[in-house]
Structure 1
Amino acid sequence: MAEGLICLTLAWDQMPESVSLEGGSDRILREPVCAILVLTSMGWVLLDTGTDARRFRGENPDRDLYAPAGLPEFLTDGDPLVDALADHGLEPSDIAVAAVSHLHFDHSGGLRHLAAAGVEVCIQRNELEFAMNGAGREDAYLREDYDDPAIRWRLLDGDAVIAPGVDAVSTPGHTPGHMSYRVTTAERTWLFAMDAIDLQAGIDLDRVVGTWAREQDAPLVRSSHDRLTRLTREGDARLVAGHCPETWPPLDVPPLPRNGTAR
């Protein structure tokens, strides 16, 4: 069982609703880029790493990745992940183990910090294989984020334990090896859908996300969506959409226990 968790907002993306919700409109949503810190008996666990802000700054920001919606907004002029960790008295070397739900660039941008700190990173085997052998920029995969021999990958094949109280939940479809996270604390069980369900509207209306990396994976988008809603019912869990501007920033997370320290 985990001792507690902290929700991190690493950036804000400008995205058409249709990307996050099948049948959605062209209305531009300001969506959070999310990560989670979990305090466990083995130390701090980091789930997802956000966007590398450097490519969107300076005189020639990379506009193609987000056109036509606009560039992401960052909460700091520094590095989003490093500064978010510092807000809680942490640095990358304080992370006991990390995981990345999938390797789209708004989830993989902080991997270089974990590589430099020697932190083990959990990923689904199918996701890494697709990223290394089939995916490209047109699929929102940027090899410079993850094609690094210094990253200490721990390859997972489906559901797995990441750390005490933190489980990987296999939810392929949005990408071939996408995974969500289950975090169990004394107060409740949390299911962080990540990009398997982007918006609270997807939960409320039972509508899937609007994009997937491979056409043959489209049926898996629905089956993974259904799996998460089923696990929510069976485990009396709180299901959290991965990019929802309505539910993420004010997410009602209990405070860490008094003995839960950042170092």
Structure 2
Amino acid sequence: MTEARRLYVLLCGYEILHKTVSTRDRGGRYIMAEPICAYLIQTTKGYVLFDAGFNSYNVEDPFRRAEYFPRRHGGYPPIVEPQHELLTQLEQIGVSPKDVGEVVISHSHFDHTGNIKHFRHARITMQRREYEFAMNEAVPSDAVIKPDFDYPDIHWHLIDGDWEIVPGVDVISTRGHMPGHQSMAVLLPKSGMKVMPADAGDLMENYDEEILPGQSVDDDSARAAIVRLKRIVESTHGEFLLTHDPVLIQTTKLAPDYYE
């Protein structure tokens, strides 16, 4: 019996990037506006947040914008309007940050870690490999903004592999795009299985044709992650909720609406 009750999709802004960021060696002439999504799951034990969106201060502040974005995705900064702010959307649902006891971070890229600072009271779950990568000063990454999550009072919960939060709410290890990438699967009582891959594959094209993401630390693992997620959806007659697909987002229920 699943303990998940509702799932909210939070649209936290848009990234402007070349399509090859999402599909390996495919679509280099195209520039896309890809959504940035996070997810709030209501369970019988409380709220779980999957990913933390983007910190808009990193583009609003001219010094941070100049520091972080000339070298990322061709220099195009994300677009975050007031309606996209994660905390604003939680407020519309009637949820405050202190109501969220569990936060799962798919990986350490800046469009997934931006609002961690508001949840320092919660347990923050990341794969151990990903945490070690993100905190390793000797391995810099243009897509990691460490000040967004490098707080001494964060309650890190480091895991190795798959993990069940509560029955029906599962963290799935999908390393490949990043050393410790993870996805989530949520079984809802009425609409069934929802699979949120995060950046294991940005677009439906990645799953329909098993196209690798633009970058990965391990191509074989990245391909295996795509196949694994496809099999979960197919075997459960489930549905993908993709973090970055600009077509799928237009037919996705957005908060304060929800899936149940």
Cα separation, 1, equivalents of 2:6 and 2:124:
20
Partner of 2:202: 198
> Structure 1 residues 20-29 or 53-62, which shifts more?
53-62
Cα separation, 1, equivalents of 2:213 and 2:5:
31
Residues 76-113 of structure 1, C-alpha deviation per residue, up to 9 Å, x if partnerless?
Answer: 18x82211211212221011211100010110111111
Determine whether 1:9 maps to 2:2: no
**1:76 pairs with one of 82, 104, 118:** 82
User: What TM-score, normalized to structure 1?
Assistant: 0.88
Residues 14-40 of structure 1, C-alpha deviation per residue, up to 9 Å, x if partnerless?
Answer: 011000011222211100111001110
User: What TM-score, normalized to structure 2?
Assistant: 0.89
Query: Which of structure 1's runs of 4+ aligned residues deviate more than 6 A?
Result: none
Q: How many residues align?
A: 251
**1:64 pairs with one of 63, 70, 82:** 70
Shift of 1:248: 2.3
Aligned residues of 1:41 and 1:164 also touching (Cα < 8 A):
no
Cα separation, 2, equivalents of 1:102 and 1:49:
10
Shift of 1:188: 0.6
Partner of 1:231: 232
**3-state SS of 2:248 partner:** coil
**3-state SS of 2:200 partner:** coil
Partner of 2:247: 246
Aligned residues of 2:133 and 2:139 also touching (Cα < 8 A):
no
Structure 1, gaps ≥5 residues long: 258-263
Cα separation, 2, equivalents of 1:84 and 1:137:
32
RMSD: 2.0
Residues 204-257 of structure 1, C-alpha deviation per residue, up to 9 Å, x if partnerless?
Answer: 222121112x3xx12211111111112222222212333101112421588466
Partner of 1:208: 212
Cα separation, 2, equivalents of 1:249 and 1:232:
20
> Structure 1 residues 127-136 or 44-53, which shifts more?
127-136
Cα separation, 2, equivalents of 1:135 and 1:30:
32
Cα separation, 1, equivalents of 2:76 and 2:11:
18
- Spell out the pairing of 1:27-106 with structure 2 (5 A cutoff): 27-60=30-63, 61-62=65-66, 63-68=69-74, 70-76=76-82, 80-106=85-111
Aligned residues of 2:207 and 2:227 also touching (Cα < 8 A):
no
Shift of 1:136: 5.2
Cα separation, 2, equivalents of 1:11 and 1:17:
17
Partner of 1:129: 132
1:32/1:154 Cα in 2 relative to 1: closer, same or farther (>3 Å)?
A: same
**3-state SS of 2:252 partner:** coil
Determine whether 1:145 maps to 2:151: no
Aligned residues of 2:56 and 2:80 also touching (Cα < 8 A):
yes
Aligned residues of 1:200 and 1:244 also touching (Cα < 8 A):
yes
> Structure 1 residues 156-165 or 185-194, which shifts more?
156-165
